[in-house]
Structure 1
Amino acid sequence: MHLFLLLILQLPAAIGQIDPEHCRYALGMEDGRIPNEDLTASSRWYETTGPQYARLNSEDGDGAWCPEGQLEPSDSQYLQIDLRRLTFLTLFGTQGRYARGLGKEFATHYRLNYSRDGQLWKSWKNRLGKEVLDGNKDTYGIFSNDLKPPIIARFVRVIPVTRLSSTVCMRVELYGCPWDDGLLSYSAPEGQLMMAPGNPSVISLNDSTYDGVHEKRKLSGGLGQLTDGVTGRDDFLAIRQYNVWQGYDYLGWRNDTQGTQGYVEMEFVFDRLRNFTSMKVHSNNMYTRGVKIFSSVSCWFKPSLSWEPEPVSFSTILDDRNPSARYVTVPLSRRAARSLRCRFYYADVWMMFSEISFQSDIILPTQQPLMGTSVPGGHRDITMTTTPKSDNTAAPSASSSSDEGNTPILIGCLVTIILLLVIIIFLILWCQCVCKVLEKAPRQILDEEVTVRLSSCSDTIILQTPPVPPRSRHPPAGPTNTDPHYERVFLLDPQYQNPAVLRNKLPELSQSAEASACGGGYAEPDVTQCTPHQSFNNNAPHYAETDIVRLQGVTGSNMYAVPALTVDSLTRKDISAAEFPRHQLIFREKLGEGQFGEVHLCEAEGLPEFLGEGSPLPDRDGHSVLVAVKQLRADATSQARNDFLKEIKIMSRLDDPNIIRLLCVCVSSDPLCMVTEYMENGDLNMFLCQREIESTLTHANNIPSVSLSDLLHMAVQISSGMKYLASLNFVHRDLATRNCLLDRRLTIKIADFGMSRNLYSSDYYRIQGRAVLPIRWMAWESILLGKFTTASDVWAFGVTLWEIFTLCKEQPYSLLSDEQVIENSGEFFRNQGRQIFLYAPPLCPPSLFELMMRCWSRNITDRPTFEGLYQALRPHVNQ
């Protein structure tokens, strides 16, 4: 019993500050969780373009919210969204009015205003003070903007911005999570400047994103960097944000500038009356530079109109051996208040905070807080209301008997509540125990059905990416919940990572897997080869797995798998690409991002001269040189950094006209960057989606078009590039039209990263927030057994051909849900004639569709090689 109560009492301490990288849930515009009555607007053109139609990916009404009349540059028309509670917003997505192909209106730029109370409105600005956000470039695509800093608000207004008089329409979605802290504002002295020895620049420790009033060297009525979810580094001079000044992540004060008081006083105002469990303060402790965590803190509480006289005080244990920044948890004794005033006392010359958060429970209006009274294990106080004792002394016996009669009832209620808590605690612990047992249990394959587990029962947080426009004009048909035998594949499952474990359980795989492992020549030359008829050895490396490094690009989810012998050890001399002056890269736009990196569109000054003769860049005709810059984030792990350098070495080896080229690098200092070609015509998917097949009608109406010969030439180029990769034993793992880029001469180049990952997030199946898989392009053995080979790339090439000859107007298997696609891969494995193939596109010649079908052969050895595909496709192209 004591153990149960101890566990519950420790739970609140584990709750931390919101992580902006994980707080990215869609808040309900698209799926209707935000009701129509919470959507208002300054104006609307028609009833059918009212604010209720401003939902992402929705075609209801006339397809979007449109303000009335022509929008002028000076106008401030807005769409207002009431989220009904304080919310932490990290991402904002916009879309134009598509209206089933009839729309032509979209907002190229917009601003965001927000309010926490519906009365005081604030304008959002990024960390460099810019208010205007980039919007859409067409009517159907979704453009998502990361909100850095995030917004904490209940009400949000979207204000379209135009430079010329024009008509605009918008559909939107907001992403974030609830702001359970309930903090409305904090007040504090303004941050100060520091002159560090040996550092010529002035270090500004101000709160640069504070959205309140800055007056008389004091901040009041707003929120800022102390609530943005970004914690500072151990060295306060090192920053987590890009293109900001040293010390940016901290708000800091110097002791001798605060008079003789020796403390910094801060006041915190909350949305309602709360019981406070604790306060967590992320503080710097770089004592070698005179910075330490606070020595003590005293907090006063204001539950109503006046401050209570007795504070809660807490003394910290100072540490002069560990300079790491850390969270200091201050217990607040479950005191009730709507405002707090805390004095933080100096322990050295400087005190610096980067985050402050609170753990508290809302007190309902019917509750009367009892000081210091709580039931262990609960998140809310169980408070009792008592009737004041009567002044009438005429009937003492009646009053006495009433008190005596109520006592057993109260005791019984308390005992019942305690028993209920014990039962709840027992059930929670029992469920956790069962989940752990189930998580460790091996997967079983019964009745020759492959059951692949994709999530563990203990996973409770599912990270979501912004939704994107459907590739098909029709919603997926059929039920979303499939056969209960099927669970989603968990990519990090040990058995998924080690297919040999599953292979022992799949006797039917013995022949086909044997042929797969030995056919195609996917192993390195020094790896012992075998024939398709050799007896299978469970100890032999499967697809030469012991000699393959699966290198995941740090800026995306797709990757090359490459021979480990090429990347055993890596030093700067191993990188053949030249070092480009970093200051000559001018950042223009962020194209995509991943866990540890970002891809930017940049203008490279003097790049043709830098590369000299033989430069792979085309003649620019005097135009500036645009390049794609893949950049490692400052907070990347050492493993991600190592992988990034390996990726540079790998890409520097690639030299083929149909493979994206690495031009140069910036690795002499952080952040590490690689500079690659930028394709002006974007990716093949978008290029084809915007075109129709060539005909007299397209010529007469000047409609962008492509011919059948053009499509065949594209297929030949992709097969040529993949033939080159296969000759190097490289496995792409994510071949699709979205990863085939076109330059202005319409030369196709296969890329190793998605240039617009958010745009195609619906093509990827997210696994409990940990990984994404392009399952609609993956071979059955890749989905079920985790095998990625050149043969699985051939399967993806067949799907890519299908995309090309449907002009990318439809997503593969568009009538199947993700779960049904996974189930269909099981049908390929069982090979009982129930598997579903992609249909023959009307534009596709029969001989070419037969080639696609061979790419989707169940047995790996029956699939053609890329050399064979290239030789089969080349004669179809008009020379």
Structure 2
Amino acid sequence: MEVKPITHHLFFVLLTATVRTQVNPEMCRYPLGMTGGQIQDEDISASSQWSESTAAKFGRLDFDNGDGDGAWCPDIMSEPDGLKEYLQVDLRSLHFITLVGTQGRHADGMGNEFAQRYRIKYSRNGSNWVGWHDRKGRQIIEGNRNAYDVVLKDLEPPIIARYVRFMPVTDHSMIVCMRVELYGCEWLDGLMSYSIPDGHLMIYRGLDVYFNDSVYDGTTGLGQLTDGTWGLDDFLHSHIYGMWPGYDYVGWNNKSFPKGYVEMIFEFDHVRNFTSMKVHCNNMFSRGVRMFRQATCYFRSGSDWETEPVTFRPTVDRVSQIARFVAVPLGDRTASTIKCRFHFSDLWLLFSEVAFQSGKNNSAWVSFLSVPWDDPTHKVDDSNTRILIGCLVAIIAILLAIIVIILWRQVWQKMLEKASRRMLDDELTARLAVQTQAFSFHHSSLSSEGGSTSNSTYERIFPLCADYQEPSRLIRKLPEFAQSTEHLGRKEKTQSGGSEGAPHYAEADIISLQESSDSGTDSITPVNINLFAGTDSSMKEFPRHKLTFKEKLGEGQFGEVHLCEAEGMQDFLLEDLSIEGNKESPLLVAVKTLREDANKNARNDFLKEIRIMSRLRDPNIVRLLAVCVDTDPLCMITEYMENGDLNQFLCNLSKLIGMAVQIASGMKYLSSLNFVHRDLATRNCLVGKNYTIKIADFGMSRNLYRGDYYRIQGRAVLPIRWMSWESILLGKFTMASDVWAFGVTLWEILTLCKEQPYSQLSDEQVIENTGEFFRDQGKQVYLPKPPYCPDRIYHDLMLSCWRRNAKQRPSFQEIHTLLMDSLV
């Protein structure tokens, strides 16, 4: 079974020829191996060490193997300039590094040393070292304030390096210790350095616009053209706050180039086979800037340039002023150095990024096999050479055959896995196909029809399965999240006595809370058809023939939801379930059905929901009135709220706070039973007579609100715009996360539901924003104060519902009290 790692390595080598090497700093934030152990001890060195137990190999962030004292410490006190002592990490290959993390030494309470500030130096070859500085020229990085916490710092701009040195700096001589981690991804472009002319100054309407390469790291290095940041359409503005006009671009004026072109030279780590080059150009021709008219590229593998260049003439856009990437095909030319000449098509030429797509040249295989093909001083017998070549070709053919077989096997395994996941999705998804003629309805139009089938594609939303998947690969951008999850889980407990596994209100077993004396009927798994036959249940079997179909309201997680007239329902109900209405007239009710072809799990879930809802008694919770479970299709009959859901109703109602009070009251009741709703929003609040608001979770109009839900890798859909950060990142649902959702629901009410929460953000940006709540560095975005919303409601209530620390959020009792006070 040793084949798998080898296969993965060979497969990776084959894929490098087609890797898209354009780096995105926002995505390139993976831990590079100090914490996880991928970086070996021999690749970690230092200028000195205090003792064997504080050697360089112990300088791994958040890692303690029990052998050392928990960090690297130099053998002398650190100096104020921070230029002598260092901890060095060898990544074995070039990496694009976007983030660094540091930590001090506590040694289980025996130590208290840390670096308050530090510098970083880096090198691509181990000989030429460059000191990092930020975009404003500052070299000092603020470090730790205690020996325990991890401090993460973005490197702006990022660096491309193989070797990195952390150099502690102190205001006075003191002992320091460090643990570190690097974050980024492998640099597959292979570009080691480039040489370009100095950028020029543009004077635009009296404004100085500088187009210099401000982060260039040496006479033959890398800089702004490889920092992963693309310029905006308007070059006067920048992605980076507070930078000067033109900062994102390197640019030149054609008056300084009599030959009409700008020449650039790109040096690579080895001979490569180049497919294309992508150049990000500005095209604001209204200010004299256009993309290049022609690119001519020359190639060199040894000492001389090849005589035949590649020439490319793009279509110059004279209509749109949008900045864009221009792909220059390089014709699979082989080289270790490329010289490109970009010809002006207007007064100015502005570039912000250059990236290459390439693969290793086949000569790399020759070098790997140590065959002296081109050494004229090495004499080899021709016959032996032919035999050796034949053997090598046979070995390569056998290896390729093995790789093909293994890859084919893996394809089949993935297909089988997808099939099994599809079967699991069938368990989690209720495909609605309820035959309406299963009701013995009185409606004349239905009595004449022969049973049409209605289908839908709505998926179940809650509860999440046990193997909850992370919401997006974007979360992998947060290395600090991955490191801190276990620590966070130990520190944060559910507020108000709830547990992390608090159940959804429509699925929890509340019988143990309300009928502790019951002995044989508390179990809800499995549930059978005779569940309600005993005297312990208040739910009665309603005669099916007394239901008259009126219209289809929507689709729920188990089946369709219909509006029906229930004849004699008032006389049928027990006294504690009586509702307003004329006893002589049929009562309008909502009938929720289970599709006839539902599997066993869906059937049990449906009956479980009936059992739970039969125990809920609160004026602000939708009530279950009766059931039809003697024959298929199974049905539950609930109150019908004639004014629909709150989202649709708000446009015609001004008593907003009063409705919020009712929602808070219903949630206060649920929280008193330790139930978590998980999907509180105006779409799940129904409006009845006299503007009565009742909380539900029927999903009667989920298709209408499909845009409110975000699909997670085909497994589930989540209302991420209403969810707390810990629910999205950790899959953790508590009463405190319901409080967060209540704050968003209140925001909906006070904005009259005229826009979706965070309407200016995409779903992915909403998820990124939860990462900012996790980091808690003041960059998170809150919903704005609605117009005419009292300051007290927004600042004292809404913002408190969205506090990062779940323990600091108010309870529903406190929310209800505050809202009641605001009505006075």
**TM-score normalised by L of structure 2:** 0.58
- Tell me, yes or no, if structure 1 residue 528 matches structure 2 residue 688: yes
CA distance in 1, matches of 2:779, 2:375: 68
The answer as to whether partners of 2:87 and 2:167 remain within 8 angstroms in 1 is: yes
> Could you say if the C-alpha distance between residues 551 and 360 of structure 1 is closer, same or farther in structure 2, counting changes exceeding 3 Å?
same
The answer as to whether partners of 2:686 and 2:696 remain within 8 angstroms in 1 is: no
Partner-residue secondary structure (3-state), 2:784: helix
**Partner of 1:501 in structure 2?**
557
Opposite residue 792 of structure 2, the aligned amino acid is D
The answer as to whether partners of 1:303 and 1:337 remain within 8 angstroms in 2 is: yes
CA shift at 1:648, angstroms? Answer: 3.5
**Partner of 1:675 in structure 2?**
none
- Tell me, yes or no, if structure 1 residue 257 matches structure 2 residue 264: no
**Partner of 2:150 in structure 1?**
142
CA distance in 2, matches of 1:733, 1:315: 55
CA shift at 1:736, angstroms? Answer: 2.3
Tell me the C-alpha RMSD between the 2 structures.
5.3
Q: 1:647 aligns with which of 784, 800, 803?
A: 784
> Could you say if the C-alpha distance between residues 361 and 457 of structure 1 is closer, same or farther in structure 2, counting changes exceeding 3 Å?
farther
CA distance in 2, matches of 1:125, 1:651: 47
1:323-722 correspondence to structure 2 within 5 Å:
323-363=321-361, 367=365, 442-444=425-427, 451=465, 454-455=468-469, 462-466=476-480, 468=483, 500-501=556-557, 505=602, 506-507=605-606, 508-512=608-612, 515=616, 518=622, 520-522=665-667, 527-528=687-688, 539=700, 550-551=721-722, 560-563=743-746, 564-568=748-752, 594-595=768-769, 646-649=783-786, 653=790, 655=792, 661=795
Partner-residue secondary structure (3-state), 2:792: coil
CA shift at 1:67, angstroms? Answer: 1.1
Opposite residue 78 of structure 2, the aligned amino acid is L
Q: 2:73 aligns with which of 54, 66, 86?
A: 66
**CA deviation map 1:230-288 (0-9, x unaligned):** 11112222210111011111111111211x21111111111112111211111112222
CA distance in 1, matches of 2:16, 2:245: 36
Opposite residue 28 of structure 2, the aligned amino acid is C
The answer as to whether partners of 2:82 and 2:118 remain within 8 angstroms in 1 is: no
Q: 1:185 aligns with which of 193, 216, 229?
A: 193
The answer as to whether partners of 1:142 and 1:469 remain within 8 angstroms in 2 is: no
**CA deviation map 1:102-139 (0-9, x unaligned):** 21111110000000000000000000000000000011
**Partner of 1:54 in structure 2?**
59
CA distance in 1, matches of 2:815, 2:489: 37
Give unpaired runs (5+ residues) of structure 2.
Answer: 1-13, 377-381, 430-461, 492-553, 560-593, 595-601, 623-662, 668-680, 709-718, 730-736, 756-766, 819-824
**CA deviation map 1:673-728 (0-9, x unaligned):** xxxxxxxxxxxxxxxxxxxxxxxxxxxxxxxxxxxxxxxxxxxxxxxx7xx66xx9
The answer as to whether partners of 2:475 and 2:768 remain within 8 angstroms in 1 is: no
CA shift at 1:167, angstroms? Answer: 1.1
**CA deviation map 1:455-474 (0-9, x unaligned):** 49997994442255687699
**Partner of 1:202 in structure 2?**
208
CA shift at 1:475, angstroms? Answer: 9.8
**Partner of 2:303 in structure 1?**
305
Partner-residue secondary structure (3-state), 2:612: helix
CA distance in 2, matches of 1:500, 1:733: 32
Query: Larger Rg: 1 or 2?
Result: 2
CA distance in 2, matches of 1:535, 1:736: 24
Partner-residue secondary structure (3-state), 1:655: helix
CA shift at 1:74, angstroms? Answer: 3.7
CA shift at 1:204, angstroms? Answer: 0.8
**TM-score normalised by L of structure 1:** 0.54
The answer as to whether partners of 2:282 and 2:350 remain within 8 angstroms in 1 is: yes
The answer as to whether partners of 1:63 and 1:98 remain within 8 angstroms in 2 is: yes
| 434-443 or 226-235, which deviates more | 434-443
**Partner of 1:118 in structure 2?**
126
**Partner of 2:231 in structure 1?**
232
- Tell me, yes or no, if structure 1 residue 15 matches structure 2 residue 16: no
> Could you say if the C-alpha distance between residues 410 and 75 of structure 1 is closer, same or farther in structure 2, counting changes exceeding 3 Å?
closer
The answer as to whether partners of 1:554 and 1:594 remain within 8 angstroms in 2 is: no
> Could you say if the C-alpha distance between residues 171 and 456 of structure 1 is closer, same or farther in structure 2, counting changes exceeding 3 Å?
closer
> Could you say if the C-alpha distance between residues 58 and 412 of structure 1 is closer, same or farther in structure 2, counting changes exceeding 3 Å?
closer
**Partner of 2:586 in structure 1?**
none
Q: 1:158 aligns with which of 136, 158, 166?
A: 166
> Could you say if the C-alpha distance between residues 445 and 313 of structure 1 is closer, same or farther in structure 2, counting changes exceeding 3 Å?
closer
> Could you say if the C-alpha distance between residues 174 and 343 of structure 1 is closer, same or farther in structure 2, counting changes exceeding 3 Å?
same
CA distance in 2, matches of 1:865, 1:143: 37
Opposite residue 806 of structure 2, the aligned amino acid is A
> Could you say if the C-alpha distance between residues 51 and 423 of structure 1 is closer, same or farther in structure 2, counting changes exceeding 3 Å?
closer
CA distance in 1, matches of 2:158, 2:696: 59
The answer as to whether partners of 2:278 and 2:325 remain within 8 angstroms in 1 is: yes
| 530-539 or 93-102, which deviates more | 530-539
The answer as to whether partners of 1:597 and 1:630 remain within 8 angstroms in 2 is: no
CA distance in 1, matches of 2:180, 2:392: 53
The answer as to whether partners of 1:298 and 1:313 remain within 8 angstroms in 2 is: yes
The answer as to whether partners of 1:17 and 1:357 remain within 8 angstroms in 2 is: yes
**Partner of 1:709 in structure 2?**
none
CA distance in 1, matches of 2:490, 2:698: 46
CA distance in 2, matches of 1:247, 1:597: 30
**CA deviation map 1:396-451 (0-9, x unaligned):** xx99xx99x999999999999998898789778878877777776635169x9973
**Partner of 2:529 in structure 1?**
none
1:864-879 correspondence to structure 2 within 5 Å:
865-866=813-814
> Could you say if the C-alpha distance between residues 51 and 235 of structure 1 is closer, same or farther in structure 2, counting changes exceeding 3 Å?
same
The answer as to whether partners of 2:232 and 2:323 remain within 8 angstroms in 1 is: yes
- In percent, how many aligned pairs have the same letter? 36
1:246-325 correspondence to structure 2 within 5 Å:
246-258=245-257, 260-325=258-323
> Could you say if the C-alpha distance between residues 13 and 413 of structure 1 is closer, same or farther in structure 2, counting changes exceeding 3 Å?
closer
CA distance in 1, matches of 2:18, 2:74: 48
> Could you say if the C-alpha distance between residues 444 and 329 of structure 1 is closer, same or farther in structure 2, counting changes exceeding 3 Å?
same
- Tell me, yes or no, if structure 1 residue 27 matches structure 2 residue 32: yes
Opposite residue 465 of structure 1, the aligned amino acid is P
CA shift at 1:539, angstroms? Answer: 2.3
Partner-residue secondary structure (3-state), 1:356: strand
Opposite residue 527 of structure 1, the aligned amino acid is V
CA distance in 1, matches of 2:393, 2:165: 53
Opposite residue 268 of structure 1, the aligned amino acid is F
Opposite residue 293 of structure 1, the aligned amino acid is M
CA distance in 1, matches of 2:485, 2:791: 34
> Could you say if the C-alpha distance between residues 288 and 19 of structure 1 is closer, same or farther in structure 2, counting changes exceeding 3 Å?
same
The alignment covers a number of residue pairs equal to 564
Opposite residue 612 of structure 2, the aligned amino acid is S
The answer as to whether partners of 1:183 and 1:271 remain within 8 angstroms in 2 is: yes
Opposite residue 666 of structure 2, the aligned amino acid is G
The answer as to whether partners of 2:310 and 2:330 remain within 8 angstroms in 1 is: yes
**CA deviation map 1:293-335 (0-9, x unaligned):** 2122121111122222221222212221222211111222222
The answer as to whether partners of 1:443 and 1:452 remain within 8 angstroms in 2 is: no
Give unpaired runs (5+ residues) of structure 1.
Answer: 1-8, 214-220, 370-379, 390-397, 477-497, 572-592, 602-627, 633-642, 662-720, 741-749, 751-792, 795-863, 871-879
The answer as to whether partners of 1:298 and 1:311 remain within 8 angstroms in 2 is: yes
